Structure 1
Amino acid sequence: MSTAGQVITCKAAVAWEPGKPVSIEDVEVAPPKAHEVRIKIIASGVCHTDWEFLYEGGIGVKPRPFPLVLGHEGAGEVESVGPEVTGFSPGDKVIPLFLPQCGECDRCRSPKTNQCRKNWENAQNGVLADGTSRISHRGQQVYQFLGVGSFSQYTVVSDTSLSKIRPDAPLEKVCLLGCGVSTGYGAAINTAKVERDSVCAVFGLGAVGLAAVMGCKANEAKRIIAIDINPVKFEKARLLGATDCVNPSLQPEKTIQEIVVEMTDGGVDYALECVGSTSIMTSALESTIDAWGVCVIAGWTETQAISIEVEQMLLGRTLKGTYFGGWKSVESMPMLVDKYMNHQLNLDDFITHNLPLDQINTAFDLLRNGQSIRTVISLW
């Protein structure tokens, strides 16, 4: 029997307050309104940003309202569409997006940016275009993280924050393209524009950093220095293209940038910061060679300030930021999925754990303890 137009009761991982484990609840998911699509989420990756907003609870990040369904790295199937939706039909395989692409605004029409602002403020506050969420629990509104909320078996998103993908794509794999892998891979390819035979350094080897290593490799860098204080991640980094692996904690008498500059006889051509630490952002910039070194910040933080000596910039270095790897979100997802299906983009080696929804707190623990790269949560 069709569920279109009806409220659906399903399971979701609800964060009731910051700093506390989530709980699995029965929630009600309302039908989609105009320009909205209701999705049956099949799988969702667990991203460090989900953990950060849950366990830091607004300390060092902009607070989001609770109760909250986290998750923004999902993939699923269209269950039903709201009025005025023309690009999606029930049964379509899709990836919901925390970054919209309306295709009509100045930013969407410009090749210089991917940062569409359609419904942006509302999504940041966990609601859709009309200022409300479609998820509730016993009459209480439950907010959708970044306008997505993929740790729910069903969710509703704007039709400008959704990409239709090929029907044979494995959703439990391509869900990773919703955030971390796309961000790091694009940081190297789109934002840094790593050149052939260049020397690169990647700071931090979580999913974003490992994807940045993969992007440097794809653009034929001749040397890729992977940096992390957790040596367990080095094997994966080498698999994805790293030529050197450095644990700076083994050389406490030197700064990270001193180590890198010494290794490269002056500094790297490209540095990619994938931690979200302002001190490491400074180190990454200072690890680049003067005159033409490029540093790209891909690590996520919202409220902290970075300290830079003016001379570092005057000598010719470039400091850039990237959001979602510079990809135009809606139009880029099918292409990235095709790359995976054609064995041109590695997703499988990012997945270290697969867990059901009711073990999502275990997934957060694995992430916090540095034991996972990506855990994929099965919603069914």
Structure 2
Amino acid sequence: MASTAGKTITCKAAIAWSPGEDLSVEDVQVAPPRAHEVRIKILHTGVCHTDAYTLSGKDPEGAFPVILGHEGAGIVESVGEGVTSVSVGDTVVALYTPECQTCKFCLSGKTNLCGSIRTTQGRGVMPDGTSRFRARGRDILHFMGTSTFAEYTVVADISVVAVTPKCPTDRACLLGCGITTGYGAATVVADIRKGSNVAVFGAGCVGLSIVQGAVRNGAGRIIVVDINKDKEEWARRFGATHFLDPVRVVAESKMSIQDKLVEMTDGGCDVTFDCTGNVGVMRAALEACHKGWGESIVIGVAAAGQEISTRPFQLVTGRVWRGCAFGGVKGRSQLPDLVNDYLKGDLKVDEFITHREKLANINAAFAHMKKGDCIRCVVDMSI
């Protein structure tokens, strides 16, 4: 088979032409990688709520037309000049949180955020300010530096990490966002200790990953809060000790969910997590924290223009409000270890896959995601 290195590839991609519309699976031209860029043949991708959020038009950084997707894994097809971190044929995971290892952020030891390509990534272009995608005679924007809803994509070399080929790409892709985000939030960002009282608001992929991280760290009570009562079985399967439906709590006890959690935990939770993106829930999660040391971690992304609020006294009395991206995990340095944990049986991944679709049916994957019985739908990128 003739090499495609250095050539433009025509392949299929799911293009979001306008907000609120179904994705259109059609031909796209993918230019070869330039210096410090990598072209990946995407084999599998997860469909995440962040993709749906941007497609809805509520994302303040959302721009169209764009190829969405940020939870993908595949094989390196070709590399540009100066690329040394990965090689042709490597099994890789695309990283929406890059790691250059040289900027102020990477060198700080305080964060997994990287400042090297943040501006261009936010504008939907490669670091040189241009796109590698064209369809219908016009440029198509990149998404989160990854655009995994295409059979081939181009990423910066700091936005990809090689992992062992022993891990199937339909599993490895899920470590590109949801599972790592939740598990890392519990094991890297939060101070969960043996016996800690933990509350998790939202029992989707991220929330359930937090639960398994809390179990690993030896938490005592792990309380999952979700309005979908069908999520209780899922929560307990991953290690939750309690499940609360906040609507039922109010109806039966006449207490707010935060008051109920304070009552259950003798003063409040040590750590709470919001995975919903609902600013009202974010407030409840903070106010469910224990006075003096409780910490609430915001993971869910709220719609443009929304703000969080609480009485300042909640913070004056020692509660901490903080957020995190990608679970505080540094993709190039630490993600391979999570892949190895999965292979050793120390990290659940298979259990998250509830639905599967082909690229041609990617809109069905979005439909699955909106239903309560879906944790993650994995899309096979072969046509």
Q: Shared fold by TM > 0.5? A: yes
**Cα distance, 1:193 vs structure 2:** 2.1
Residues 188-207 of structure 1 deviation map (CA, whole Å, 9 limit, x = unaligned)? 11111211111110001111
1:334 is matched with 336
2:41 is matched with 40
2:98 is matched with 100
In structure 2, the gaps of 5 or more residues are none
C-alpha separation in 1, matches of 2:167 and 2:191:
28
Residues 135-173 of structure 1 deviation map (CA, whole Å, 9 limit, x = unaligned)? 111321111111111000000000011111112111001
Q: Which amino acid aligns with 2:133?
A: I
Aligned to 1:234, the other structure's residue is in SS state helix
2:256 is matched with 255
2:268 is matched with 267
Is 1:166 the counterpart of 2:164? The answer is yes
1:359 is matched with 361
Residues 277-334 of structure 1 deviation map (CA, whole Å, 9 limit, x = unaligned)? 1111110000011011111111122542110211111111111111111011211111
8 Å CA contact 1:126–1:145 kept in 2: the answer is yes
* Pairs within 5 Å for 1:274-285: 274-285=275-286
1:179 is matched with 177
* Pairs within 5 Å for 1:134-145: 134-145=132-143
Residues 44-101 of structure 1 deviation map (CA, whole Å, 9 limit, x = unaligned)? 000000001112x1x3x31422111110000000000011111221100001111110
Q: Which amino acid aligns with 1:29?
A: V
Q: Which amino acid aligns with 2:110?
A: K
8 Å CA contact 1:125–1:146 kept in 2: the answer is no
C-alpha separation in 1, matches of 2:266 and 2:83:
56
From 149, 152, 156, give the equivalent of 2:150.
152
From 164, 186, 189, give the equivalent of 2:187.
189
Aligned to 2:230, the other structure's residue is in SS state helix
1:82 is matched with 80
Q: Which amino acid aligns with 2:259?
A: E
Identity %: 47
**Cα distance, 1:107 vs structure 2:** 1.1
In structure 1, the gaps of 5 or more residues are none
Give the structure-1-normalised TM-score: 0.97
C-alpha separation in 1, matches of 2:305 and 2:324:
16
8 Å CA contact 1:285–1:295 kept in 2: the answer is yes
C-alpha separation in 2, matches of 1:45 and 1:358:
14
C-alpha separation in 2, matches of 1:287 and 1:257:
4
C-alpha separation in 1, matches of 2:98 and 2:33:
17
**Cα distance, 1:261 vs structure 2:** 1.3
8 Å CA contact 2:200–2:222 kept in 1: the answer is yes
1:70 is matched with 68
From 313, 316, 323, give the equivalent of 1:314.
316
Question: Matched residue pairs, number?
Answer: 377
C-alpha separation in 2, matches of 1:196 and 1:123:
39
Residues 344-372 of structure 1 deviation map (CA, whole Å, 9 limit, x = unaligned)? 10011111101101111111111123331
1:343 is matched with 345
Q: Which amino acid aligns with 1:27?
A: V
Which stretch of structure 1 is more off in the superposition, 9-18 or 105-114? 105-114
From 365, 372, 375, give the equivalent of 2:374.
372
Q: Which amino acid aligns with 1:28?
A: Q
C-alpha separation in 1, matches of 2:138 and 2:62:
16
C-alpha separation in 2, matches of 1:6 and 1:85:
17
Residues 98-127 of structure 1 deviation map (CA, whole Å, 9 limit, x = unaligned)? 111001112111211111011111112211
Q: Which amino acid aligns with 1:361?
A: N
C-alpha separation in 1, matches of 2:357 and 2:123:
28
C-alpha separation in 2, matches of 1:370 and 1:130:
41
2:7 is matched with 6
C-alpha separation in 1, matches of 2:12 and 2:280:
40
**Cα distance, 1:251 vs structure 2:** 2.6
2:207 is matched with 209
Q: Which amino acid aligns with 2:197?
A: V
C-alpha separation in 1, matches of 2:188 and 2:96:
19
1:113 is matched with 111
Q: Which amino acid aligns with 2:165?
A: P
Q: Which amino acid aligns with 1:209?
A: G
Cα distance 1:303–1:183, how it changes in 2: closer, same or farther (>3 A)?
farther
From 238, 241, 246, give the equivalent of 2:239.
241
C-alpha separation in 2, matches of 1:369 and 1:354:
14
8 Å CA contact 2:67–2:150 kept in 1: the answer is yes
**Cα distance, 1:16 vs structure 2:** 0.7
Greater than 4 Å deviation, 4+ residue runs: none
